[in-house]
Amino acid sequence: MTKPDLGKLVLTVGDWSPEGWIAHLGQHVPREDIIFSDGKTPPSPDICAQVKYAVAWQTPAGFFGHFPKLEAILSTGAGVDHLVRRDDLADDVAIIRVIDPDLTGRVTAWTVMNVIAHHRQALAYLDSQNRAEWNPLPQTSAPDVRVGIMGFGELGQSVAAVLKLLGYDLAGWARNPKPDADIPVFAGMDQLDAFLARSDILICLLPLTDETREILNADLFAKLPQDGVTGGPFLINGGRGGHQNEAVLLKALQDGVLKGASIDVFHEEPLPSDNPLWKAPNILITPHTAGMSAPEALLGRMVENLIAFASGEALDNLVDRKAGY
């Protein structure tokens, strides 16, 4: 069967460097059909009228309103909160999120790295190193450390699989029950408190929805255990910046409600140099790179998905716009 012609395809990738995306997308569709936009300035009206598909990340409000025939948008990142509930997208425009082994592996590696860093007191040792002090600290075993994973989809399950091999005492929390999971999974708001009470290290890999916005707040931090072997709870957020109340996060670190944190995502990115979180105690900050998308790994599957859709097949990884993910 002849592959369908996707026609003109608009590519807009926010503040990422576009060269790699253009080059790798050009391996899958004709280069002349790739219309790059910085998201601020749309193509000419006659080009916009030919575009049915978009590959997009962090586009400004109103951008998609320039494309009257738009049928589907591929998000180049794991999050889709930048695409759902937009006034410039008709209800019938499909949104497709990325689920890819490369992206999953990157997030998993970042998350596991930070669990181990806090469990094995890496920041305390780095501080000792900076002072040239030989300072052995008490060490606990992984089975004695309770790790809670908020969000038990593709990413959460991948993280759990690796941490289970290392012996950590794991539990998950999800919107709906996961009866087939090989670790305990708490479900819904009714079971959130019980989940938090057994989470010495709390990992957030949730999608960002109205229900999860600023879920990492003072009330939640107060429900984390202070009596675990880690000497206090740690937070690892590789989800979205909108999950955390950053003023509360700062205070929790300063007051010792949280013993430490690893944060990859923020309300404002780049994180301003004068933001006090930079100097908060016992925090590891990374610049939204936990799951940095790699065009060479993602675009082949993304275009295959679009070709299947253009051939009348169902889309993989279709976002439920009402649910928000």
Phi, psi of 122 (to 5 degrees): -60, -40
CA distances 274 to 116, 130, 241, 270, Å, are: 29, 23, 17, 11
Identified catalytic residue from 106, 240, 243, 301: 240
Place of tokens 């999950």: 243
| CA-CA-CA-CA torsion sign (260, 168, 146, 135) | negative
Identified catalytic residue from 82, 267, 288, 321: 288
- As a residue count, the chain comes to 325
> Can you tell me the distance from the alpha carbon of 144 to that of 138, in angstroms, rounded to the nearest whole number?
13
The separation between the first and the last C-alpha atoms of the chain, rounded to the nearest angstrom, is 33
> Can you tell me the distance from the alpha carbon of 16 to that of 305, in angstroms, rounded to the nearest whole number?
23
Q: Within its chain, how far is the Cα of 274 from the centroid?
A: 24
240 catalytic, yes or no? Answer: yes
> Can you tell me the distance from the alpha carbon of 39 to that of 59, in angstroms, rounded to the nearest whole number?
5
3-state secondary structure 149-167: EECCCHHHHHHHHHHHHHC
288 catalytic, yes or no? Answer: yes
HSE, side-chain direction, 13 A CA sphere, residue 101: 2
Whether residue 229 contacts residue 121, with contact meaning beta carbons closer than 8 Å, is answered with no
- Catalytic annotation, residues: 240, 288
